Amino acid sequence: MRGRVICGVILLLICVRSVRAQIFPSQIWHEGMAVLNSRDTLEGLIKYNLEKDLIQIKTPENLIKTFSSSSIFHFQLFDKSVGLMRYFYAIPYKVKRNYRVPILFELLFEGNLSLLCRETIVQESVNQYGYYSYSGGYTARNHLFYTFYFLDKEGVFHPYKLKKKEFIKVFHPEEEAVLLFMKKYKLRNDRKDDLIEITEYFNSIEK
């Protein structure tokens, strides 16, 4: 029994270590450029933090400069993990009644109806049962959580919390065509890549 307990503790430590070893795009430096509200352009390595609404830029002279969303117009970077250029904008967003502040959004698709998102790193506990587990136990796992926003041609934000009513409302009056398109290509309304395809399709048929 004692041996099984020790093995369980060792496995738990290994799992915790693997969580700590996980690296996400916001935790590494990317080649890119930023345009400030002053219209100054800075090039170098960029690290972003959407939760704190700031970026760091490491210049060719190896200086690190930090900029908040209030001083950023937009920035872009090449994310090697996905092999794509990614584009971010600081856009005024209503956080309280009659009060807006610029916060950072990633632009996923631009059109009459645009799709944007913000990402956060979320830790969840996963139950783990096995021969070496003394009484079940759990392991921690980090993953990226996306909050999506639709921005219409009038400049109005529509936060999307993956609810069906919100989804139908955003794609009105073409919701039936959109649902048929999703069914045909087996697309889901809670996956980032699928939402990009759906938004692109809607823009192509919008009257």
Q: In terms of domains, do 21 and 78 share one?
A: yes
> Over the range 124-149, which residues count as b (16 or more CB within 10 Å of their CB) and which as e?
eeeebeeebbeeebebeeeeeebebb
Q: In terms of domains, do 48 and 132 share one?
A: yes
Distance CA 44, CA 31 (A): 6
pLDDT by residue for the chain (207 residues), tens digit each? 444 433 443 333 334 444 445 788 999 999 999 999 999 999 999 999 999 999 999 988 889 999 999 999 999 999 998 899 999 999 999 888 888 899 999 999 999 999 999 999 887 766 665 545 455 566 778 888 899 999 999 999 999 999 989 999 999 999 999 999 999 999 999 999 999 999 999 999 976
Q: In terms of domains, do 204 and 113 share one?
A: no
Q: How many structural domains does the chain have?
A: 2
Contact indicator for 38, 46 with CB cutoff of 8 Å: no
Q: In terms of domains, do 47 and 105 share one?
A: yes
Q: In terms of domains, do 104 and 138 share one?
A: yes
Q: In terms of domains, do 155 and 175 share one?
A: no
* DSSP per-residue codes, 31-64: EEEEEETT--EEEEEEEEETTTTEEEEE-TTS-E
pTM above 0.85, yes or no: no
3-state helix, strand, coil in the chain (%, to 5): 30, 45, 30
Asked if the bond preceding 173 is cis, omega within 30° of 0, the reply is yes
Which residues constitute the domain of residue 62? 2-160
